[in-house]
Structure formats: C-alpha cells, structure tokens
Structure 1
Amino acid sequence: MIVSILAPFTIGLCFFLFGMYAMRTGFQNLAGKKMEQWMARFTRTPYHSFWIGLIATFVLQSSSAVTVLTIGLTNAGIIQFAQTVGIILGTNLGTTVTTELVALKLESFAIPMLLVGVALWLMPRPTVRCTGLVIAGFGLIFLGIDTLKLMAKPLEQSETFRSLFLESSHSIWIGLITGVIFTALIHSGSATTVITMGLLSHQILSMETALAIVLGANVGTCFTAVIAAIGTNTASKQVAWCHTLFNVAGAVVFLPFLSQLALVSAFLTSSPSMQIAHSQTIFNLICSMVALPFVPQIARFIQWLIPDKRKPPTPTAVWIKKKTG
C-alpha cells in the first residue's frame, strides 16, 4: 500500500518539478536576459509593476523566482522597495496561468509534446532549442500529472488516509497549514495545487478542504523569498515580508468564505480541477485588484513595520564629507 502510493507520488512529483524547471529555463533563455532590464525600466507606477510581475511570473513559471529576482534587484539598488509592491501583486495572479493550463487536462498530449520538444532541442539554432525546452517542459508537467493520478486509487482505499482527511475536513485551518508546509518543503505552489486537484477529482477531499490547501500553498510560496532575503539589505527584507504578509492576510480574509468561493467556481464549471483553478484565479484577482489602488499606503506600512535601522547622516557629517571629499 505504501509503495503503491509513494512510488507514483515521488516519480510524478519529480516529472512535474523537472518539467517546471525545463520550461522556466527555456523561457529564461528566450526572454529572461531582458527580464531584469524590463523590471528596472517598467516599474515606474504600481500598474506597470503589476503587469511586469504578472508577465515575469508566466515567463519564469514561478512566483518565488520572480520574488527572489526582485529581492536581488532591490538589494542592488536598481529598484526601490515602493516599486516592488505592484510586482508582488502581479506575481500572485501570474501563478494562476499555469494552474489554468494544467486544469485543461492535456495529459494525452504529454508524450507527443515531450518527443517534439526533444526533437527541437537537438536542432542547432539556440532559439529553436529553447522553444523545444519549453515544449518538453510542458510535456513533462502533464506526464507528472498523469503519474500522480496513479496514487489516487490506493489513497482512496486507505482507511488511515480517509480518516485523516475526514478529520481535516472539519477544520479548514488544518487544510491551510497542510498547504503551507507542503509547499514550503517542495518549493512549488503549482505542484501542491496539482496534487490537490487529483485528490479532489477522486473525492478524497472536500472542495472546502481543497481550497484551504490552495490558499495555504499561496502562503507557502513565500518561504523561498524569506530565505533569499536573509543577509540582504532592509529594502530586500521588506520585499520578502510584504509578499508574505500580503498572502497571509489574503488567505485569512478569504478562509471564512470558502463555501461561497466553491459555489461560484461550481457555477462556472462542473470539472473539479477547473473549479480549483478558477477559485485560485478569483482569489488572487480579487486580492490584487483590491490592493492595487493602495500600493503607496501598503509600502509605507511595510516600511513602518520593518524600518531601515541605518541612521541618516547628521548635517555636520555631511558637511565634513563634502569638505574632505
């Protein structure tokens, strides 16, 4: 029983994460070299920052990667902290693009996409090779999803697992914490969401518990950013904690309304996987749209919460520096 669960879980997760890495590498080589320039140049207003965050997350296939890149640019002094709040809001919505694509159930195209991707990878032109990497990455993602589905049947038959999730269905907080911890461990909110989709489609989870896990996954993605901010300047720490606090606040605010969110997604589609994807999109869209007009206030609040402890130079010190310089 344990082998029949762990084997497809491990192999499927490896396929999925490796596919995400391959796709991200391909996109990075195609457009990633200009990403830093775009982020530095087109973040003058919160709305520009928002679109840059959204596009960058789709290109890099990881909100954590974009947040870490933002931390690096802030630490280098290329962009200011106030410019990054819009980027953070955009990354949250950008992650839903991958989830929506995954929910379309394109697993039957996994092997053909993988073969086409490998064939293009063997071509001499760098652009064609990178395109092949992206296509092969998508193929691996769908192959991983197909493999992960194999663990659903033994899980469904496991009384221990059923009782565990029956217990968690009585408390959406357990689902939220599960999503946070699992995503922090594997560093992929998309993978957590895909596994949740599989369990929901086999009726192992209730919709409310599944949505709580997805909200937890949103929070868990912040773990990488917090780690990346260690040893950096204050502005970089502000970026990491702004991302974390925003996602935590969104999850806590939405938690009492999971039933209503489930009803809305059920109205839009009858597919459980699509319901999860649409719910995540609705959640992130509402959170981002509500916060976007208040970006300056959010930035000031974070700067007040995590102040720059460096004391500004006194007028005398400035005068001495000018005289000696």
Structure 2
Amino acid sequence: MLYFLLFIFLIAVFIMGMSILRAGLFQLSGERFKKLLERVTNSPFKAMLTSIFVTALLHSSSAVMVITIGLISAGMLTFPRSIGIILGTNIGTTFTTEIITFNINQYLVPMAVIGAILMVFQNVKFRSSGFILFGMSAVFIAIQGFEFLSTPLTELPIVENILLMLNRSHLLSIVFGAILTALIQSSTAMTGITMGFLSGGILNLDSGIAIMLGSNIGTCITGYLASIGSGKESKLCAYAHIWLNVVGVLIFIPFVDWMSSMAQNVAKSPDVQLAHTSLLFNVISSLVVLPFSEQFGKWIMFVHGRGKK
C-alpha cells in the first residue's frame, strides 16, 4: 500500500513539475507565443512549424491546444487556420519525452535548490528561470521514482495482474493508456510512467508503445474540455485533434510489433526506444495529413457541422 501511495505521489510531483516548468516558460514568452500563432497561420506548413517550436518550448501540447481554442473563441483565429497548429502540437510534445531520457541525475538537487532560490526573486526573468529549473528537476526526480518503484509495485497482486494483461494485449494497453492519460490529463506523464516500468524490465516494449499510442488519444480530453462553451469553431478544433489522433492510432495498431523491433535496433535503453517511437508516430501522422489539411478541415466541418452548437 505504501508503494502505491508513493506512486500516486510521484504522479502528482511529475504533473506539478510540468506545470511549474510550463508556468516559468509562459511567463517569459507566453504573450509572444500567442501573437506568433496569430500571425503564422496563413499557411498550414508555417503554422505546423511554429506550433512544433511553441509546443516544444512550453513542453505541453495541451497548453498549446488550450491557447489555440482560446484564440478561436476570441475571434482571433478561425478553425481552418488552426489545422497546422494541431498537427504541430503532436510533434512538438515528443521533444519533452526525448528530453526526459537524458541522464542528469547528479544535477537534480543543485537544480532544485537554485530554482527554489530564484523563485523568491521579484525580477520576472529570475523568478521564471527558477520555475523552469525547479519544475524540470521535479520532473526528472519523478521519472527516477517511477523506475525505482516499478519492481516493488509488481509485488502488489493488482498491479501484477494489470501488467500481465497489458503485456498480452496491444488493444488493452491502448485503452489503458487512453483512460489513464485522460484522468491525469498529461500524455507526457503517462509516457514517463511507462518509461519507468520499461526501464524496470517489467513491461514489454510493444506494450509500452501501445500505451504511448493510447496516451495520444487520452490527451485530447484537455482540448475538448477547453472547447465546451467556447463556440462551434472551438469545438471543431477539438474534434479535429481527436480525429487526428484516433485515426492515426488505428492505422498504427498493426505495426506495433514492427515499431518495437525497429526501436530496439536504433537505441539500447528502453526509455529511449519508446521516446524515438513516439517521435516517429507523431511525425508520420502529422506529415501524412499536412498536404490534405484543407480537405481534412472541410471533412471535420462536414461531419460535425458548422451549424451545431
């Protein structure tokens, strides 16, 4: 029971760290990002590149989706011009999963201490830098905790049974990843947890990849919730995000075992293998849709209807 409570605590630490990190980055340049998104959406390709950049810096596709939906709701952006942004968020968020595979354990305590000190400064740049350092250290500490707890957690019968089921079924792993991600509202946190179990050797890589695919569906819940009460075009943006990820996952399900084999040939560490696979999936999904972004937008409007509230 103690290990399970510690696991819940680490999830909270991870999400808190991501929130603090994102807050620091947004304080430094959040308004610039909003204006940038407003200016570059005349071209789906430019919008996608800008969205990749903004999402990578903010370390959150959900944050960029909420900003985009807010811009649409405020009349500063139209749904058709948001398609490129949606495609870019899926790619940009994979930079975070790549970063958390780095080994910076020896710097975590100094980062946390320096960050905590800077957070009390009145100067915005110093305080924001403190948020970034402290948040990043919390994220990495949580990742290490997930890896440490992976083995003792399997001693709990319920966890052992869940892992056994996930290792036997890709579909179940996808559903599990989608539901848990929707509950904690962070695909990065879900991927971080999965990396911990992979590094502990108690979860198969193919199951980890399936969970990652599911997390791409589960993360859509944040954008959908943000669109409630924000107008019909905001809802279309949320629907486009959902369709993009759901269809992408359905197409990739038959290739889970192939992606697992491919990942093991390009990296030795299972957490890095998962990060690379996440990047591959999201890049392919977005680039395939990019040339047809206009048609994709029209299809969303046809399915969900411009006149619907």
Alignment TM-score, normalising by the size of structure 2: 0.96
Retained in 2: the 8 A contact 1:8–1:150? no
| 2:97 aligned partner, one-letter code | T
Equivalent residue runs for 1:231-242 within 5 Å = 231-242=229-240
1:32, 1:241 → 2: CA distance? 25
Matched, 1:230 2:249: no
The DSSP-based 3-state class of the residue aligned with 2:76 is: coil
Partner of 1:79: 77
Could you tell me which residue of structure 1 aligns to residue 15 of structure 2? 17
Quick check: 1:269 aligned with 2:267? yes
- 1:188 is matched by which residue type in structure 2? S
- Change in Cα spacing, 1:148 to 1:168, as seen in structure 2 (3 Å) is closer
Q: Is the 8 A contact 1:11 1:147 kept in 2?
A: no
Distance in 2 (CA, whole Å) between partners of 1:287 and 1:248 is 11
Rounded Cα–Cα distance in structure 2 between residues aligned with 1:265 and 1:28: 33
Contact 2:147 2:199 (C-alpha < 8 Å) held by counterparts: no
Shift of the 124–161 alpha-carbon distance from structure 1 to 2, 3 Å rule, reads: closer
- Within a 5 Å distance, the mapping from 1:4-43 to structure 2 comes to 4=3, 6-43=4-41
CA contact (8 A) 1:12 1:147 kept: yes
Structure 1 residue 208, shift from structure 2 partner:
1.1
3-state DSSP of counterpart to 1:145: helix
Q: CA deviation at 1:43?
A: 1.1
Quick check: 1:92 aligned with 2:90? yes
RMSD: 1.4
Deviations 1:210-244 (A, max 9, x none): 11100000110001111111122211111000000
Residue 128 (structure 1) shift: 1.8
1:171 to 148, 169, 172: 169
Residues 32-181 of structure 1 correspond to what in structure 2 (within 5 A)? Answer: 32-181=30-179
Mapped partners of 1:115, 1:3: distance in 2 = 27
Query: Greater Rg, structure 1 or structure 2?
Result: 1
Matched, 1:297 2:295: yes
Structure 1: how far apart are the matches of 2:64 and 2:253?
26
Aligned 8 A contact 1:175 1:213 in 2: yes
Residue 16 of structure 1, CA deviation: 0.9
Q: 1:316 — aligned with what?
A: none
Offset, 1:11: 2.0
Contact residue 147 and residue 200 of structure 2 kept, 8 A: no
CA distance in 2, matches of 1:192, 1:108: 24
**1:28-69 Cα shifts (integer Å, max 9, x gaps):** 010002221111111110011101211221232211111111
TM superposition outliers: structure 1 runs of 4+ over 3 Å: 156-160
1:124 Cα deviation after fit: 4.1
Q: 1:200 aligns to what?
A: 198
- Deviation readout 1:288-322 (Å, 9 max, x if unpaired): 11111111111111111121117xxxxxxxxxxxx
Structure 1 residues 3-40: Cα deviation after superposition (integer angstroms, max 9, x where no partner): 22x13212211211111011111000100022211111
* Counterpart Cα distance in 1 of 2:105 and 2:248: 32
The answer to whether the 8 A contact 1:110-1:139 is kept is yes
Paired letter, 2:259:
L
Give the C-alpha shift of residue 159 in structure 1. 4.6
> Which stretch of structure 1 is more off in the superposition, 8-17 or 41-50?
8-17
Q: State the AA in 2 paired with 1:46.
A: P
Tell me, yes or no, if the aligned pair for 2:13 and 2:139 is still in contact at 8 Å.
yes
Alignment match of 2:218 (pick from 217, 220, 226): 220
Is contact 1:116-1:132 (8 Å) kept?
A: yes
- Does the CA contact (< 8 Å) of 2:147 and 2:195 recur in 1? no
Report what 2:286 is aligned to.
Answer: 288
Instruction: Using structure 1 for the length normalisation, give the TM-score.
Output: 0.91
Counterpart-to-counterpart distance in 1, 2:266 and 2:90: 21
Deviations 1:174-215 (A, max 9, x none): 000000000000011101001101111122111111111000
Structure 1 CA distance for aligned equivalents of residues 124 and 207 of structure 2:
45
Give the Å deviation of 1:121. Answer: 2.4
Name the amino acid aligned to 1:132.
G
Per the TM alignment, residue 119 of structure 1 is displaced from its structure 2 partner at its CA by 2.6
| Distance of 1:215 and 1:260 partners within structure 2 | 14
Structure 1: tracts of 5 or more residues without a match: 311-325
C-alpha separation in 2, matches of 1:224 and 1:243: 11
Out of 56-65 and 71-80, give the one that drifted further. Answer: 56-65
Q: Retained in 2: the 8 A contact 1:107–1:145?
A: no
Deviates more, 1:85-94 or 1:12-21: 12-21
**Cα distance, 1:118 vs structure 2:** 1.8
